[in-house]
Amino acid sequence: MTRSLGQEGFGQYTTALAFLSIFVILSDLGLHSLMTRELSQKKEGLPEITSNFFTLRLISSLIFLLLGLAALALFPYSRAMKIGMAIGASGFFFLSV
């Protein structure tokens, strides 16, 4: 991948991944650990608990990635890189959910 993108292209790719990763990490909000704890304590209501946490995760991922894309306007990246980050954000959204 480094050979095909070249030094500058690979640097942009790495920057985009690092930038989006920050917002994906923030979108977790500790929900995975909290869900694990809740499921281990309560044996009843498993589908309801799982559904609630999935909904929270979906909403938090969407909010934080949109905040990341909004913050992107404050950085002096090229137009092509901003478009690439927007496309990458959709992939990160599905990975985080």
- For residue 22, the model assigns a pLDDT of 94
CB neighbours of residue 74 within 10 Å: 7
| 61-70 residue pLDDT tens | 999 999 999 9
pLDDT range class, residue 53, cuts 50, 70, 90: very high
- Asked if residue 42 has pLDDT above 90, the reply is no
pLDDT range class, residue 89, cuts 50, 70, 90: very high
CA separation for the pair 64, 56 (Å, rounded): 12
What's this model's pTM, rounded to 2 decimal places? Answer: 0.83
